[in-house]
Amino acid sequence: MLNLTFLKNNLVAAINTAMKAVPTRTSLPILECFLLEAKYDTVTLTANDMEMAVKTTVDAEVEENGHIAVDAKVFSEIVRKLPEDEVNISVTENLQVRITSGKAHFEIAGKDGEDFVDMPIMEKGTPVVVSQMTLKDIIEETIFSIAPNENNKMMTGELFEINNNVLRVAALDGHRIAIRYSVLPDFYERKAVIVPGKTLNDISRILSGDASKTVNIYMGRNNILFEFDKTQLMSRLIEGEYFRINQMISDNYETKLVFNRRELLDCIERSVLLVRESDKKPLILDIRDGGTVLSLNSVIGSMKEELEPEKEGKDLLIGFNPRFLSDALRAVSDEKVNLYLSNSRAPGYIRDDEGTYIYLILPVNFVAR
């Protein structure tokens, strides 16, 4: 009925990819399974949690074609612990799955593959083509700004917007906004979709980050499909119109500071040593012509450190969540960063001269001492 031989490392890599779409909890037991489909010299593993589906292929010696659904968690744990480099999987007529490697023999119950909920069929159209490195970097440089809970569903996803040859990706959580722009080699019709943050986290973990490899992105009405290497990942989109972030961004400022990014980040991360996870103690920037003093007071202790950024404009006293500042600075690789400020109650902007990124952070109210 089914007889397959794999190299263990190839099978484990496919399992790790497909495992991203196996639900932790579900009312449909069949969704706790992988679907293994064998045809000619390839085997396709599919997982589907009804929000996201992954289909990935792995090379194998196929003696008999067929399909079977197997418990994903049990199957993956067995395969990872097998002793030899070669793995044989066969299925009996009563759907028992035999897994053999060297002198190790396992037998687990399978399920009829016909019952598995396969990946939805999508009309692809023209794909947006992005390098794996670009997509991976863009996700990692914005994903920290999505909201961690679903009080506002829109904030748990990211805006993917194509306009001519520019891809804009944006995330916000009500306290900050992260925006990245990337110029693409080709031009496209304008499209805008909202992709769940979980989907993007999973993709960034799967992507190799190789600049020479590409990802084809198909944006549909209800789904988005990413195709790369031997993998297809399809996700439901978040419905609705995204926030009007253009109206939240301003080019006006009264004060501009140019910091050495590493010095500023190190100073902020030292201040965070005095802040518990639940604390909302601000890092206060006292900006003057002679230098900028960064200070923080908490129940643990206090710190004060002076930096000497290039300054343009007015003196200012302003406070920020130090973790929000450090998240933005870690997402930037420039040696120097520009911080634009208007007043103590207006957002601060970290942005580059070329317009490839914008990080907006709302200030924190505090009582000046």
Domains in the chain, CATH or no CATH each: 2-115 (3.10.150.10), 128-247 (3.10.150.10), 255-361 (3.10.150.10)
- Taking the C-alpha atoms of residue 138 and residue 151, their distance in angstroms, rounded to an integer, is 25
What residues contact residue 241 under an 8 Å CB cut-off, 6+ apart?
none
Tokens of 33: 């399974």
- Taking the C-alpha atoms of residue 224 and residue 192, their distance in angstroms, rounded to an integer, is 11
Over residues 260-289, the pLDDT tens digits come to: 999 999 999 999 999 887 778 899 999 999
Average pLDDT over residues 162-180: 97
Residue 368's pLDDT is what? 61
| Composition of the chain by helix, strand, coil, percent to 5 | 20, 45, 35
Say how many C-beta atoms besides its own lie within 10 A of residue 21's C-beta. 26
Give the rounded percent of residues in the chain with a pLDDT score beyond 90: 89
CA nearest 93: which of 223, 213, 211, 2?
2
Amino acid at 171: A
CA nearest 86: which of 100, 73, 76?
100
Span between the terminal Cα atoms of the chain, in Å: 78
- Decide: helix, strand or coil at residue 91: strand
**Mean pLDDT in the chain?**
95
Amino acid at 72: A
Which DSSP letter does residue 231 get? E
Over residues 142-154, the pLDDT tens digits come to: 999 999 887 889 9
Over residues 219-253, the pLDDT tens digits come to: 999 999 999 999 999 999 999 999 999 999 999 99
Tokens of 129: 């083509």
Tokens of 255: 């004060």
CA nearest 119: which of 62, 64, 199, 52?
52
- Taking the C-alpha atoms of residue 204 and residue 180, their distance in angstroms, rounded to an integer, is 15
- Taking the C-alpha atoms of residue 322 and residue 329, their distance in angstroms, rounded to an integer, is 11
Q: How large is the C-alpha radius of gyration of the chain?
A: 25
Residue 150's pLDDT is what? 76
Over residues 45-76, the pLDDT tens digits come to: 999 999 999 999 999 999 989 999 999 999 99
H or E element in which residue 89 lies: strand 86-91
- Taking the C-alpha atoms of residue 364 and residue 8, their distance in angstroms, rounded to an integer, is 53
What residues contact residue 111 under an 8 Å CB cut-off, 6+ apart?
30, 33, 68, 69, 70, 95
- Taking the C-alpha atoms of residue 254 and residue 244, their distance in angstroms, rounded to an integer, is 24
Look up tokens 């969540």; give the residue. Answer: 321
Q: Are 318 and 341 in contact (CB under 8 A)?
A: yes
- Taking the C-alpha atoms of residue 225 and residue 216, their distance in angstroms, rounded to an integer, is 8
